[in-house]
Every structure is written in C-alpha cells, then in structure tokens.
Amino acid sequence: MRSASIAAALALAPWALCAEQRPLSNLSRPQRSADAPAYREELLGLHKSLVSIESITGNENEVGAFLVDYLTTKGYTADLQFVAPRGGTPEGRERFNVLAWHGGQRPNPRVVVSSHMDVVPPHIPYGIEHGAVTKDTVIKGRGSVDAKGSVAAMVVALDRLLAAEAVNGEDVMLLFVVGEEVSGDGMRAFSDSLAGMDPPPRFDAVIFGEPTENKLACGHKGGLFCDVTARGLPGHSGYPWLGKSANELMVRAMARILDADLGSTELFGNTTVNVGRFEGGVAANVIPEHAFVKMAARVAIGPEAEGAKIVRRKMQAIFDDIDDEAFTFDCTHGYGSVETNCNVPDFETVVVNYGTDIPILKGDHTRYLYGPGTILVAHGARENLTVGDLETAVEGYQKLILHALKQ
C-alpha cells in the first residue's frame, strides 16, 4: 500500500468533513424489518455515501478517497493506481483506480471483482422513499444503479464471505476504476499495468458489475464510436445547383446507414446506430459548407477483435458511394460483440446492448457480468432501484465469487 499517496488523496477530499456522507451513521429511520438481512444497514449506508458523492467522469477523486478510507478501516489493504487527468478533472485533484484486498503484500488473486466509480452527468442527489424501509423501498440518485449499486453490493458480499471464512482474503481482489463512462481509461491503465509485470499475473476470473437486473449476462454488444465530417461548397440557397450542401450529403449518408444491414446474430440481434449529435450550416438561406455528426453503433457481430472493423468498412462503403471526396470518417475506438460466462446454476440470464470495460481488460480469464438495477433507467433523470435489488445483488455476488473460486 502506498500510504503517502493515500494520505495525499485523502487530504484532498472535502467529504471527510461532511458527516452526512459517512457510511453507517446517517440513516434516519430504522433499517431492520422482518425481511431485512443482517447487513442491510451496512449496505444502505455505504450505497448512500457513494451516491451522495458527485463523481462525474474526470472528477472521481472524492469517491475514490472515500472508498480507500472505508475499505482500510475494515481491514483491507488498499492501493491507488493513478490515471491521467481528463476534461472535468479539477486542478490539483488526482484520478486513481482503487485496488483492495485482505492481506499484506499485493497478492496474485484468483478472482477480481470490479466495477466503476464514475457516473454520467448531471449529478442527481441521493433520495430514498419515506417510511419504513422494506425490500420494495425505492432509492434514487445518479449512480444509484450505474454503477455504485454494484460497488456497494460487491464490498458487502466480499465482507460477508470473509467474515464467514468462506474465502481466503488474498484470493479475491476488489478493483474500482475511473473513466468507464467515457473511454475506459481507468481499466486500460489497469490492464496496461499487468502487461508490464514480469511475469504478468493470471486471474481465473473477473466479475464485472453493471446493471443487469440481477441476471447473469451471457454477453453484450460491441461498440463503434465515430465522428463524421462532410465538406460541401457554400452558395446562395436559391441556386442549389451551384453549390454542394454538406447537410444534404450527411442526411443522405445517415439515412442509408440507419437503413443498412450492418450485421446481426441470433444472440445479439441487429447492429444499431445512434446519431447522437448533428451540426451543420450557418443560416437557412446559405448552402452549408460543413456538417458534423457524432455517432455510436452497437455492434451485434463478432469476433470481439474484428466485429467493429467489419461494421466500419460497411459504413465507409456507404460514404464512398454517396460522395467519395466529401466525407471524413474517424472512429476513436470499437470492438465486436462480447461473450461472457452465464453457465452458473440458479441465475436467470440476459443479453445486454450497452458497452462495458470487459473487452479492455486483456487476458484469458473467465468473464462474468452481473449487477443490480436496470439499464433502462441508468443515465436518465429517474435513475433508481430498490432495496431488494441491492440485497439480491449481495447474494448474487457471493454466489459468483464462490463459483469462480471452484472452477
């Protein structure tokens, strides 16, 4: 553990002066009821503290420092893995992944349990329904589902297994990363660090926490994330034949792409495209010279290393067919469909359409994807889940950890 680094990070954390965000002492109503597990208060307190700390991508310092403090007071060894700042990182604040385990020196764990600390904007304060807390009580707030629900449930699940002496502390490592919501730079830093070790560690399994409705995912679609620019020739809108409309070119291209067969499979369905941002032109009576689109494809085809490249080639062919000189097509990153292990007893299964850090972490480990809440409310104004969702996840993560250790 790099104690000097941890101390410096904690010194930068204003949450440390705010009693409301301490993990266990701030719940204003009785937590125990007939259906309450013994860990309910611990779980809800941790979840509340995490959701209450704003951690939009780039600004994860406070939530990371909170987790380091929380885990070390519970007997974990914690290490900080620093990640480069990005837009949104306050001056003087470090970004870092949190690695934690029970034991002394950094172990070579058999199982890694991982989720992400960052969230999408805007920050939405924590809230919980009034009245006695039951399994049906609704909790809301940014990150309550994606993915601080997974973080809280993972910590409590491992705590319970350690307390019962059901696992060896050095066999399981917690890994909470930054940057998942934008580019995966936190997981990329972790993966790159492994490649630099001699010999590189080998994990039997990695359990990734994302909202899957507490079903075990058999995989998720890949992704392709691109910027498209169209260049035209400006002129008076009354004489369109004397110019070239960049907007018209872009509209025709996007319509073709949205209607095209970009690949499908029985497991993942169709490849879909979202035109997330469209800009072009300067005035209604001017033929637009420039048009710009940011787009994201959810890739239904594999293999993982090639699926996005196949989709990109199909899109490029459409641009070339419309105008082989007007378009610039740049993709920042992409990957094909991702398969994960869902052959575990007593779990319902699901396939999801969103992306994760799973393809970024290199290695031949078994991959599991599981977590509380539904993606259908994540990233939205009404992000929420129930107390029962969180408690079911604790039990699910315990089962997955034990299953992975037996393989």
DSSP line for 215-284: -EEEEE-EEEEEEEEEE-B-EETT-GGGSB-HHHHHHHHHHHHHHS---EETTTEE-EEEEEEEEE-S-T
Phi, psi of 317 (to 5 degrees): -60, -35
- CATH code of the region 222-335: 3.30.70.360
Q: Return per-residue pLDDT of the chain as tens, 407 residues.
A: 343 344 444 444 433 323 333 333 334 444 456 679 999 999 999 999 999 999 999 999 999 999 999 999 999 999 999 999 988 888 889 999 999 999 877 778 999 999 999 999 999 999 999 999 999 999 999 999 999 999 999 999 999 999 999 999 999 999 999 999 998 999 999 999 998 887 888 899 999 999 999 999 999 999 999 999 999 999 999 999 999 999 999 999 999 999 999 999 999 999 999 999 999 999 999 999 999 999 999 999 999 999 999 999 999 999 999 999 999 999 999 999 999 999 999 999 999 999 999 999 999 999 999 999 999 999 999 999 999 999 999 999 999 999 999 98
Instruction: State residue 197's pLDDT score.
Output: 84
Instruction: State residue 151's pLDDT score.
Output: 98
pLDDT digit string, tens, across residues 191-208: 999 988 878 888 999 999
Residue numbers annotated as active site: 180
Q: How far apart are CA 229 and CA 224, in angstroms?
A: 16
Provide the percentage of residues in the chain whose pLDDT is more than 70. Answer: 92
303: preceding bond cis by omega (within 30 degrees): yes
114 token code pair: 């991982």
Q: How far apart are CA 242 and CA 287, in angstroms?
A: 9
The full 3-state SS of 138-190, as one line of letters, equals: EEECCCCCCCHHHHHHHHHHHHHHHHCCCCCHHHEEEEEECCCCCCCHHHHHH
Q: Which residues are within 8 A (CB) of 343 and not within 5 positions of it... i.e. 6 or more apart?
A: none
pTM over 0.85: yes
Q: How far apart are CA 203 and CA 211, in angstroms?
A: 23
Instruction: State residue 346's pLDDT score.
Output: 96
Q: Which amino acid, 7?
A: A
- CATH code of the region 39-218+339-405: 3.40.630.10
pLDDT digit string, tens, across residues 38-68: 999 999 999 999 999 999 999 999 999 999 9
How far, CA to CA in Å, does 125 sit from each of 52, 54, 57, 383?
6, 8, 16, 11
Instruction: State residue 18's pLDDT score.
Output: 34
284 token code pair: 């209604």
List the domain boundaries for the chain: 39-218+339-405, 222-335
Q: Which residues are within 8 A (CB) of 388 and not within 5 positions of it... i.e. 6 or more apart?
A: 134, 135, 136
Nearest CA to 295 among 244, 336, 258, 247?
A: 258
Instruction: State residue 107's pLDDT score.
Output: 76
100: preceding bond cis by omega (within 30 degrees): no
Q: How far apart are CA 403 and CA 346, in angstroms?
A: 11
Strands 272-280 and 138-140: unpaired
State in Å, rounded, how far the first CA of the chain is from the last one.
Answer: 29
Assess contact for 120 and 354: CB atoms under 8 A. Answer: no
Q: How far apart are CA 204 and CA 367, in angstroms?
A: 9
